[in-house]
Amino acid sequence: MTKELYIFLGAIVGALFAYITAMITAKTQQDIARLNAKKDITLQHDRLLEERRKNEIYTERNMLDVLHRTLSKISLENSQTMSYMQSDENLEVPKFRMRYLENCDRLHEAMSIVDIYFPKMSDTLSEIYGQSNVFWGYQENLLRTDIMINPEGWNDLLLKVIKAGEEIGSRSRKLKREISARAKLLNENLASFQLNTINSQQLK
């Protein structure tokens, strides 16, 4: 072969090797880019899931807070203490009924929360609602009864009011214990999320 042919073939082989090397490099870079993209998508997906779960925890904690405070108000409004106060104040029936309706509003709010977020608490809260109606029914009759004229009837009504109030208090305390247990679990989950976030930032 002539010298020129060797040079020509060498150029072709060199170009072919260069082309193959370029193709391998391009494919390798594409594979790396694809893996990095997949990794980024997975990380983003995990971050979004974690963020959504944290938001759910914050929402649930807020609902537990509202429910706890509502139960405290209901317990007070349906208690022996409140019965004595209403009797001492000679509370008029129209004003008494307004307070009853306000009490119902609080119960309806609490029932809405448990039906949506904590259905396992619904039965106990329904029992509270039933006992609340018993409490206010007997309490209205108590306010209508003159102790001087009918002391026996007055005392009988008072005992029924107290019993209904105790039933409400007992069930409210039960729900509050469940609320505390649930809140503790949510706080532990939230602390775990925060620890994972700190660890992830330190690894970067």
pLDDT tens-digit series, residues 93-127: 888 889 999 999 999 999 999 999 999 999 999 99
Q: What pLDDT score was predicted for residue 67? A: 95
> What are the tokens at 89?
């104040």
Within a 13 Å sphere around the CA of 69, how many CA atoms are in the beta-carbon half?
Answer: 5
Contacts of 168 (CB under 8 A, 6+ apart): 74, 75, 78, 79, 128, 131, 132, 135
Q: What pLDDT score was predicted for residue 46? A: 66
- Burial letters for 150-161: b for 16+ Cβ neighbours within 10 Å, e otherwise? eeeebeebbebb
Whether 96 is in a domain gets the answer yes
Q: How far lies 23's CA from each of 16, 17, 18, in Å?
A: 10, 10, 9
Whether 25 is in a domain gets the answer no
Whether 19 is in a domain gets the answer no
Whether 3 is in a domain gets the answer no
Whether 47 is in a domain gets the answer no
The answer to whether 88 and 147 are in contact (CB under 8 A) is: no
Q: Which domain does 97 fall in, by range? A: 53-198
Q: What pLDDT score was predicted for residue 137? A: 94
Whether 33 is in a domain gets the answer no
Whether 45 is in a domain gets the answer no
d(CA 55, CA 178): 21
Whether 144 is in a domain gets the answer yes
Whole-prediction pTM: 0.73
Q: What pLDDT score was predicted for residue 2? A: 65
CATH of the domain at 165: 1.20.120
Count of the separate structural domains present in the chain? 1
Find tokens 């004595």 and name the residue. 84
The stretches in the chain having pLDDT less than 70 are 1-20, 22, 26, 31, 33, 36-37, 40, 42-43, 45-46, 193-204
